[in-house]
Structure 1
Amino acid sequence: MILTVTPNPALDLTWHVDRLQPGETHRVDAGAARAGGKGLNVARVLHGEGHDVLALTTAGGAVGAEFAAELAASGIPHRLIPVTGTTRRSIALVDEASGDTSVLNERGASLAPDEIAALTASALELGRSADAVAICGSLPEGFGADELGALVGSLVDAGVPVIVDTSGPGMLAAARAGVSALKPNAEELRAETGLDDPAAGAQALLELGARMVVASLGSEGLMVQTADAAGIRARLPRVLHGNATGAGDAAVAAIAAALAETPDLHADTPAAADARARLTRRATAWSASAVLMPLAGDLSPEHAALELEVVVATTDTGSADADAQPSDPEASA
């Protein structure tokens, strides 16, 4: 079983407009509402691909009730921690003319100490028996970098592979706790390491203690780096247009599935190297196929065909030609 943990979930609201014109009134078709946040999107992808997954998150208030009802209807196995604060909303406006997506993410309510304790205890209880744990998204007030680092450290000490996809100090705390994999994008890497070169930024996270870094680099594709082995770059040799808000989450789903199958994915062995190459190809294809879908958390039926198109290169420096991976505008949602 793969456990996903979403400390700051959201009710995702998505509208598609023919052409988004700031300051103007737009008439649109009915929007879609879906239980979301990065970890929920990861769980949707894994569930859709037939993996045994359990989604752990919180829900509160009237929005939380709608969130819980949609999640129940989705059929995704889950456990909800009730909280006092209202579940936040995330609004995506997809401009069909340009292919760009504008996202408004509410920050989310603070978690009380007893709510933090309940979330952490459930994550440890469920995570210790999981094949892999994915902790994803922004962190609500009250559950910060220290709490995330402690949770990651406890799971790692229990021998559970853990992937973290978050930004800010939480990323650094997860690295120091020995996280199995981090999944930043280029902007997050630059912000937290102060380094413009993604390979150098990834190396800095590895030196802090992360075992593997999988970075989505927008138009330059995807990069996988470990401390002891050559880096890998991958790209799709054509541009895809659509809703890219779930692209990074699809990549995390691929990483979680790979870690569940090969816990020592970071190792400097031929078997681990082969597994990393397969992961890089699949994560790139899943990320690209997510762009083709109207809602985050879904993969296009074309993802298997896209996987055959992915160009993969091994490099010691992390510098390989890449020019056509869809953009990854994922601010930790």
Structure 2
Amino acid sequence: MITTVTLNAAIDKTYYVDHFATGTMTRVPKMHAFPGGKGINVARVAHLLGEPSLATGFVAGSNGQFIEKELAKQGIGHDFVSIEGESRICLNIIDRSTGASTEVLEQGPCAASGDLEAMAAKVGELAARSRIVSFSGSLLQGVPSDFYARLIDTAKAAGAKVFLDTSGDALLEGIQALPYFIKPNEDEVAKIIGRKLEKESDLYESILDLIRGGIACVAVSLGEKGSIAGFEGQLYRIRAPRIEAVNTVGCGDSFVAGMAVGMSRGQSLEECLRLATASGTANALMEEAGNVRPADVERLLSEVIIERV
């Protein structure tokens, strides 16, 4: 089973408008609302790819009830920790005249110390019956920056392989616990390493440094250009298929889901990277974030180009 942890779960709302401008009234002819947050997106895509998955994290209030109810409708297992307050709403406004996307993200509720203890216990319980535990997204208010590191230690002690996809101090602290897989972007790699990346070869060496430091697999996103990954001292350049993107929000989460599914199935690293890239690309063909059509993923697999560096 793949367990995903979303500490700051959300309702993702997407507004499709004919023209978006600030300082004016805008009518919304089309809207989608569904459970969101990076880890929930990972769980959804893993489920769509046919792999058993379960979503956990914090939920709060009526928005939290909506998240749980909608996940149940989608057939996605969930076991959240409920806290006081109201889960956040993340709004994505898509201007259909230009294709531009504008995101407005609420902060979310605040976790108390007792909530953190409940979450640590939940992760330990679920990790004991999971092959992979994937931690994704931002920290909730009231959660210390080293909390991911604590949860990673807990999940590893229970025997699970750990993924981490976050940013800022949560990433810097989290990698100290040596997760199995991380997916930073170039700016985040520079912050981790503590030096500016002047050229692509600097990125190569930085990835190898992270692997030598104890993180087994590192994949660095390059956006529509694909990614560069490292595993067991070998570097890979992955080129994504060319498509006409509909919505790129959630592509990174879908990439993580593909990696988790591939590793859960015992596939080779190149097969995992191929599935991850096809999944991330397939997400861009959908209006909803963290959603793929399995037929698209299957079709795109053969279009992914992987070269050893």
Q: Same fold (TM over 0.5)?
A: yes
- 1:139-218 to structure 2, matched below 5 A, reads 139-193=139-193, 194-196=195-197, 197-218=202-223
Which residue pairs with 1:276 in the alignment?
A: 269
After TM superposition, list the pairs within 5 Å mapping 1:1-333 onto structure 2.
1-193=1-193, 194-196=195-197, 197-226=202-231, 228-262=232-266, 275-300=268-293, 301-315=295-309
Structure 1 counterpart SS, 2:252 = helix
CA separation in 1, counterparts of 2:93 and 2:204? 32
**CA-atom RMSD in angstroms:** 1.9
Following the alignment from structure 1 to structure 2, what is the Cα–Cα distance between the partners of residues 189 and 219?
18
Given residue 155 of structure 2, which amino acid in structure 1 is its aligned partner?
L
- The answer as to whether partners of 1:134 and 1:162 remain within 8 angstroms in 2 is yes
Cα distance in 1 for partners of 2:302, 2:269 equals 16
Q: Shift of the alpha carbon at 1:120?
A: 1.1
CA contact (8 A) 1:168 1:192 kept: no
Change (3 A) 1:188 1:22: farther
Aligned-partner SS, 2:104: strand
Q: Which runs of 5+ in 2 are unaligned?
A: none
Task: Check the 8 A contact 2:185/2:221 in 1, yes or no.
Answer: yes
Conservation of the 8 A alpha-carbon contact between 2:248 and 2:284: yes
**DSSP 3-state at the match of 1:302:** helix
Q: 1:93: Cα distance to partner?
A: 1.1
Question: Quick check: 1:161–1:259 contact (8 Å CA) kept in 2?
Answer: no
Identity %: 32
Distance in 2 between the 1:198 and 1:16 partners?
37
Measure, in 2, the Cα distance between the counterparts of 1:11 and 1:44.
Answer: 14
CA distance in 2, matches of 1:59, 1:110: 11
Asked if structure 2 preserves the Cα contact closer than 8 Å seen for 1:100 and 1:242, the reply is no
Gaps of 5+ in 1: 263-273, 316-333
Separation in 2, partners of 1:104, 1:224: 31
Aligned residue-pair number: 303
Shift of 1:46: 1.0
TM-score by length of 2: 0.91
Counterparts in 2 of 1:199 and 1:85: CA distance versus 1, 3 Å: farther
Deviates more, 1:92-101 or 1:135-144: 92-101
Paired amino acid for 2:278 = A
Question: Per-residue deviation at 1:128?
Answer: 1.6
Q: Which amino acid aligns with 2:166?
A: T
Write the distance in 1 (CA, Å) between the matches of 2:229 and 2:28: 40
Alignment TM-score, normalising by the size of structure 1: 0.85
Per-residue Cα deviation, 1:218-255 (whole angstroms, up to 9, x for no partner): 133112113x3221111125243221111001001011
> Does the CA-based 8 Å contact 2:241-2:281 persist in structure 1?
no
Evaluate the alpha carbon distance shift between residue 237 and residue 71 of structure 1 in structure 2; reply closer, same or farther with a 3 A threshold: closer
